[in-house]
Amino acid sequence: MAMTDQRDNSRNVVITGIGIVSPLGIGVDDFAGKLADGASGIGPIDLLDFSAAPSNMGGQVHEFTEKSARKQYLKAQRKSIKVMCREIQMGVASASLAIEHSAVDLEQIDHNRFGVDFGANLMLSPPMALKDACWKCVEENGAGRQFHYDKWGPDGLTSMEPLWLLRYLPNMPACHIGIAADARGPNNSITLDEASGNLAVGEAFRIIVRNRADIMIAGTTGTRLHPVKTIHAALWDELAESDGPPETWCRPFDLNRSGQVVAEGSGSFILEEESHAKNRGAKIFGALLGAGSSCVWDAAGKPNERLALVNAMRAALRDAGMAPEDIGHINAHGLGQHVSDRNEALAIQDVFGSYTEKLPVTAFKSYFGNAGSGCGPLELAGSLLGLERGVVLPTLNYTTPDPECPLAVVHGEPLPVDNKTFMSVNVTRVGQASVLIGTGA
């Protein structure tokens, strides 16, 4: 019988492995423990000597070093590390950790039914990687030094290291992961900033539902801890800064919020068709039920975050066959920016109506900052790991409700819950929204 792309409602998708590389720690146990303790991963950045981040503060994965990557997290990819920038290394490491966490036997599976769907930011070369090549295109004249673009091809580019480009291509995490795992099934890369994670996981979910694969590695890697990207953040975004310690700076939905905190991180999941997982005796950490996405711009080219979020949330509910009242909690994008948080709160109110008053909302960027495309899987994992303990973990630093963000923000203590169905939400500043609906085990 020929396969179609129609959804097969008999194929349920479960999560059997989680891999984490985050400012709170590396691996599920460390990450879950720090979340449960209310710890913060935000502090001084020693990865960069200088940056445009206020006071050079952010969410850095301090345990992830060149030495630890080679010796501990990327042992099987040691020969490939030279063509991986830090973002790619973190992504491949998180995927390896997810495979290990899932206890899947790679010798026993059908590798043609094993795929990869992975997201990443646009990756930028650090200025020092371009320095020598750029100087070859500079000439002195009466007006001083002048860069000649026509010299870049013959003089500049030819002096770059031969493998330079491969170190910074956003499709390379999926390539390296697919090669390392011998995943011969569907393989795709997604580059949509903070929306990437939910999109990659959602696309992998659909691939399994459509019977194109039985197992998928899905996740993202991302960073805003970069000399150029922090400048972009300072120019384009509202960055948090206050007199208090840096771990108190990110305050999603709080009246006194002052902006987002830049960060880095990566998260990966092993998604598996339910019967396939049960047949091999896998531990199931949760299930995916639906996904939705939307991008909204007006005629003048101005993004509409609120409407994009509304569209994506409603699409996810339709995909899952659920009503708003079926959702047990929302894991919000929660940047900590004034306008973005207000738009998100209003979008939630648009979709959930009067139920908004009692719908628990949490926001995990308060723990580890905004890792760009890496944020979605870290937040999804946070909900799953909290629900494993029977709770919704609280938002840090939420002390004063904002009347413009009328949400039931979980704060102070974990909130015990019986309803394990949740919605995870992300949106970019250019109006790209992505939403997942999942449930804890």
- The confidence score (pLDDT) of residue 8 equals 63
Instruction: Tell me the per-residue pLDDT of 152-202, one tens digit each, with 9 for 90 and over.
Output: 999 999 989 888 989 999 999 999 999 999 999 999 999 999 999 999 999
Classify the C-alpha dihedral 95-100-104-105 as positive or negative: positive
- The confidence score (pLDDT) of residue 1 equals 30
Instruction: Tell me the per-residue pLDDT of 26-63, one tens digit each, with 9 for 90 and over.
Output: 999 999 999 999 999 999 999 998 899 999 999 999 99
- The confidence score (pLDDT) of residue 7 equals 58
- The confidence score (pLDDT) of residue 334 equals 98
Q: How confident is the model at residue 87 (pLDDT cuts 50, 70, 90)?
A: very high
The model carries a pTM of 0.95
Between CA 28 and CA 212 the distance in angstroms is 28
User: Which of 9, 436, 439 is CA-nearest to residue 204?
Assistant: 436
Longest alpha-carbon distance in the chain:
76
Between CA 95 and CA 21 the distance in angstroms is 10
How many CA atoms lie within 13 Å of 394's alpha carbon, on the beta-carbon side? 16
Instruction: Tell me the per-residue pLDDT of 131-150, one tens digit each, with 9 for 90 and over.
Output: 999 999 999 887 789 999 99
Instruction: Tell me the per-residue pLDDT of 226-281, one tens digit each, with 9 for 90 and over.
Output: 999 999 999 999 999 999 999 999 999 999 999 999 999 999 999 999 999 999 99
Mean per-residue pLDDT over the chain, rounded:
95
* Residue range 100-122: mean pLDDT, rounded: 97
- The confidence score (pLDDT) of residue 383 equals 98
Structural contact between residues 119 and 200, judged by C-beta atoms closer than 8 angstroms: yes
Instruction: Tell me the per-residue pLDDT of 356-378, one tens digit each, with 9 for 90 and over.
Output: 999 999 999 999 999 999 999 99
Structural contact between residues 19 and 276, judged by C-beta atoms closer than 8 angstroms: no
Domains of the chain: 13-125+164-440 (3.40.47.10), 127-159 (no CATH)
Instruction: Tell me the per-residue pLDDT of 230-241, one tens digit each, with 9 for 90 and over.
Output: 999 999 999 999
308-332 burial string, b = 16+ CB within 10 Å, else e? bbbbbbbbbbebbebebebbbbbbb
| pLDDT exceeds cutoff 90 at 417 | yes
Between CA 232 and CA 223 the distance in angstroms is 12
Return the residue matching tokens 């495309």. 373
Backbone angles phi, psi at 346, to 5 degrees: -70, -35
- The confidence score (pLDDT) of residue 104 equals 97
- The confidence score (pLDDT) of residue 77 equals 86
- The confidence score (pLDDT) of residue 6 equals 54
Between CA 90 and CA 83 the distance in angstroms is 13
